[in-house]
Amino acid sequence: MKDTLYKQIKDGIYTREEVTPDGLHPNDKGHEFVANELITFLERVKEGNVTDPLIPLSPMKEPFTANQYEGAKRLTIRNSFPTLHGFRVDTKEKKGHLDCFKNGWIGKKEGDSIQFELEASCLAIQYRKTIQKPAPIARVIVDGKVEEAILLDSNFQEDWGDCLFLEPILHHGEKKKHEITIEIIEATKEDQAPFYLLSLIFV
C-alpha cells in the first residue's frame, strides 16, 4: 500500500478523510481501494508479471493436509433460485459491508418455507438472530427427515444488537445431493421482526 494508495494520498490525489475516518480503519471507499490494489497485484502474480525477490518463482508446494473448506460455496439471491412458498426475496440495496441483513430471503408466517437442492458433505446456514423480540422460529429439514430437524431460533438472547448467526447443519457427511427445506414453525402477530435467511454455505 505504501507504493500505491499511500503515495496517492501523499500526492494529493485522495485525501486521508476520503478513505479513513480516523487514520487507521478504512471506510467503505478505503476497503474498495485496498481490495482493488490486492486484486491487481494478484492478477500480475498469476500472469507471471511480478519480479519481487520475495515471491518464489517455483510453484507452491503441495500442502501437508487437505483444506476441507477450500471449495466452499455460498448461495445467496445472486446465484440461486430456491423454491419459495411464502418466503420472499429481499431486494433492498446493500449499503456497505456492515449492512449485512440485505439480499436474503424473508419468511413471516407459520408454514412459510424455502427449499434448496445442492450437492454437499458440509453445510451451514447464515441467518439473523434479532433483539427485536418476539421473532419467528424455523426448522431445517434435510432430505425429508423431519425427526432430525434442526431449529433456527431468530430470538437473540443477548442485547448488544442483531447477530449474523452461522448454524452448522451437515459436517463431514457423504457428499451427495440433498434437499434442504427451511420452514417457519412458530410465528405470531406480535412478532417484531421476520425470519431472515441470508445464505447457505456448503462444500
Are 167 and 152 spatial neighbours (Cβ–Cβ below 8 Å)? yes
Give the residue numbers spanning the domain of 94: 73-202
Q: Which residues pair with 177 in a beta bridge?
A: 119
Is residue 30 in some structural domain? yes
Q: Is the dihedral of CA 4, 5, 10, 13 positive or negative?
A: positive
Is residue 150 in some structural domain? yes
Is residue 62 in some structural domain? no
Are 192 and 134 spatial neighbours (Cβ–Cβ below 8 Å)? yes
Q: What is the pLDDT along the chain (203 residues), one digit of tens a residue?
A: 677 888 888 889 889 899 888 888 889 988 998 899 889 888 887 887 777 666 666 676 777 777 778 889 999 999 999 999 999 999 888 888 778 898 999 999 999 999 999 999 999 999 999 999 999 999 999 999 999 999 999 999 999 999 999 999 999 888 999 999 999 999 999 999 999 999 999 99
Whether pTM > 0.95 for this model: the answer is: no
> Are residue 42 and residue 81 in the same domain, yes or no?
no
> Are residue 81 and residue 41 in the same domain, yes or no?
no
193 CB-side CA count, 13 A: 19
Strands (E), 144-175: 150-153, 163-170
Give the three cell numbers for residue 200: 447457505
- CATH number of the domain residue 87 falls in: 2.60.120.260
